[in-house]
Amino acid sequence: MKMNLLEVSPTDLNYALEQDQNDPLAHFRERFHLPKTDSGEPFIYFCGNSLGLQPDTASQFVNEELDTWKKLGVDGHLAGKRPWLPYHEFLTQYSADIVGALEKEVVVMNSLSVNLNLLMTSFYRPNDQKKKIFMEHNTFPSDRYAVQSQLKFHGNNPIDDLIILTPDDGANITTNRILDYFDQNGSEIAMVLIGGVNYYSGQAFNMKAITNKAHEHNCLVGFDLAHATGNIRLKLHDWGVDFAAWCGYKYLNGGPGAPSGVFIHERHLGLKDIPRFEGWWGHDKSTRFAMSDEFDPMNTAEAWQLSNPSIFAMAPLLASLEIFHETGISNLREKSVRLTNYLEYLIQENLNNKIEIITPSTSKDRGCQLSLRMIHPIENIMDKLHKTGIIADWREPDVIRIAPVPLYNSFGDCFEFVERLEKILHG
Ligand SMILES: *Cc1c(COP(=O)(O)O)cnc(C)c1O
């Protein structure tokens, strides 16, 4: 971080307050409900990577649909402010903007692990020579279970046919290591599924380079963007990624269990012979209610939909996506980089010898999350943090994950966090 001697030192509270005063996005904090302590103070909430906070418009959006149901019954499918038949479409363009996709490449449906399985049904196409699946180290368990279930489903070996590189540098794997692996072993790999931002270490992978390299070796490439969507800039279409999925309740603030988003590259759309599990919501909308016996898929990612979606689950997500649309994802990312750099700086200045940051130290290799490894773990650290008004997340054996989210976290939050943690660690 650059220091100017004429200005107030970044280690001073006034520096944080000044950053917040000059932050054009600061007022968005008021658009979210911050959980409160027993004494009524807002918590410092650093868990937006796990469950995003409730937008102030969420209850209004849900109530509108309850009201439509009450007043219109079945007619709510076609009438009312936001008819249910195309309700999911209201989320499509906003989601596509956030992940860098064409509108037709995106659909919001189901939840993440369900979607990963549906997508792998289409994009894991092993043969005898080319059947392995490549994943990153410290994969989120659900992704691993999903991948192994696909391997077993195709009669392959869930251990031997799963490739996981162990880190070469602390918790992280360099892009070159992945690319080299493909150059040596690409011929036996059928599919890649990597967390765009790893949930544990916070490492962001070079998705463009990995996609290009995997394609050189005829591997299909998917990303789990649970920790990337709404966090870092994504250009799924331009990068040529084959498929991706993410969840609606982490950085996207759609509420617990909110529906997931799916991306399928244009090149895979409109094909009649693609393997896929199907249902009536994937059928051409103009003839869906003719109830024909023959499935006529839509030419968009919507062909992967099976059922009519839960409107009440989509409503809070739509409320939040409207806020993202107001801020713009590039403005959010710009603030996010500054916020995380500031937090990193304060930790290095004040908690040296106590905490090791395992997340990469360059902005392009991470999102907002920092994963802090406690060099001397102390008991009940999370309870102690909670008592001082901080909500963060603990991962065994010794890692605290903290995510300063640009929509509702402030520079003041970062300052307070480090100060309170320092007090706890100094006993
Ligand atoms: C949060 C998360 C999940 C959760 O899956 P659900 O199906 O939404 O319960 C899966 N994978 C990753 C990488 C995650 O971060």
Nearest ligand 1 atom to the CA of 112 is 7
pLDDT value at residue 102? 98
Nearest ligand 1 atom to the CA of 113 is 7
Q: Show the low-confidence residues of the chain (pLDDT under 50).
A: none
Q: Whose CA is nearest to atom 10 of ligand 1?
A: 142
Question: What is the β-pairing status of strands 370-374 and 220-224?
Answer: unpaired
pLDDT value at residue 3? 52
Nearest-angstrom CA–CA distance, 335 and 366:
14
Tell me, in angstroms, the distance from the centre of ligand 1 to residue 71's CA: 36
Tell me, in angstroms, the distance from the centre of ligand 1 to residue 195's CA: 10
What's domain 13-33+329-426's superfamily in CATH?
Aspartate Aminotransferase, domain 1 (3.90.1150.10)
Residues near 305 by beta carbon (within 8 Å), at least 6 away in sequence: 88, 107, 109, 279, 281, 282
Nearest ligand 1 atom to the CA of 247 is 8
Tell me, in angstroms, the distance from the centre of ligand 1 to residue 9's CA: 40
Query: Which amino acid is present at 71?
Result: K
226-266 confidence digits (pLDDT tens): 999 999 999 999 999 999 999 999 999 999 999 999 999 99
Q: Which residues line ligand 1 (CB under 6 A)?
A: 111-113, 140, 142-143, 195, 199, 224, 226-227, 247
Strand-pairing partners, residue 203, are 366
Do residues 196 and 112 make contact, with C-beta atoms less than 8 angstroms apart?
A: no
Peptide bond between residue 397 and the one before it cis (omega within 30 degrees of 0):
yes
266-310 confidence digits (pLDDT tens): 999 999 889 999 999 999 988 888 888 889 999 999 999 999 999
175 SS3 class = helix
Query: Which amino acid is present at 301?
Result: A
Rg for the chain, CA atoms, rounded: 23
Residues near 217 by beta carbon (within 8 Å), at least 6 away in sequence: 182, 183, 186, 187, 189
Q: What is the mean pLDDT of the chain?
A: 95
Long-range Cβ pairs for the range 68-76 (8 Å, 24+)? none
To test the pocket of ligand 1, the residue of 120, 247, 262 to mutate (highest count of ligand atoms within 8 Å of its CB) is 247
Q: What is the pTM of this model?
A: 0.96
Architecture of domain 62-325: 3-Layer(aba) Sandwich (3.40)
Query: Which amino acid is present at 153?
Result: F
Tell me, in angstroms, the distance from the centre of ligand 1 to residue 113's CA: 6
Domain ranges of the chain: 13-33+329-426, 62-325
Tell me, in angstroms, the distance from the centre of ligand 1 to residue 287's CA: 34
